[in-house]
Amino acid sequence: MSTPPARVPVDPAVHVEQYPTHGSFTWRVPDLARTLDAVHAVDGVSARTSAVVDATNAAGRRQVPLSAVDPGPATTYVRVEPSAPWTVAWERRSSSVCILTGTPPASTVRELHRATGGTGWDADAAALVARALP
């Protein structure tokens, strides 16, 4: 069972869903390339990290190294699966979104949000994210 969704007051807003074992953090991002750069910059994520990709120019989802993900317009979904207690996904919707799920350190949520163009982090925003994690 989850708790009611919360919103971290940063720009763009981070929408938070809490579950007993993990959290889910979602925000709008400008594009896939910036998201891939942000994920690759996280400590412990290498170019060989596994990514699941869905694209309009290939049948079904396929697993590739992070370095092989094509940020072009055919890609509609990417999920990066580092050796960490979290995964991060990018999905093309009416506005592209980044979805960080699992039990990442609160600093990783803030780091990825900032690296994808987010602003507005203060102590209250950081504390809200920390409280959302089990």
pLDDT, position 2: 57
Question: Looking at the domain assignment, is residue 5 inside a domain?
Answer: no
Residue carrying the six token digits 């910036």: 34
Give the integer Cα–Cα distance in Å for 133 and 109.
11
Q: pLDDT tens, 69-116?
A: 999 999 999 999 999 999 999 999 899 999 999 999 999 999 999 999
Q: Say if residue 58's pLDDT is above 90.
A: no
Is residue 103, in this structure, part of any structural domain at all?
A: yes
Is the distance from CB of 103 to CB of 85 less than 8 angstroms? yes
User: For 1-48, how does the pLDDT look when each residue is reduced to its tens digit (9 = 90+)?
Assistant: 556 678 999 999 999 999 999 999 999 999 999 999 999 999 889 989
The confidence score (pLDDT) of residue 60 equals 83
Structural domain includes residue 7? no
66 in Cβ contact with 36 (< 8 Å): yes
Domain with 112 in it? 16-119
Would you state the structure tokens that stand for residue 111, as one six-digit string?
């780091």
pLDDT value of residue 73: 93
The structural domain count of the chain equals 1
Checking 90-96 for CB contacts under 8 A at 24+ apart, the result is: 90/29, 90/32, 90/35, 90/36, 92/32, 95/28, 96/28, 96/29, 96/30, 96/31, 96/32, 96/35
Residue 94 forms part of a structural domain: yes
Say if 48 falls within a structural domain.
Answer: yes
Closest CA to 104 of 132, 127, 123: 132
Q: If we measure between CA atoms, which residue out of 124, 119, 82, 117 comes closest to residue 100?
A: 82
Q: Would you say residue 126 lies in a domain?
A: no
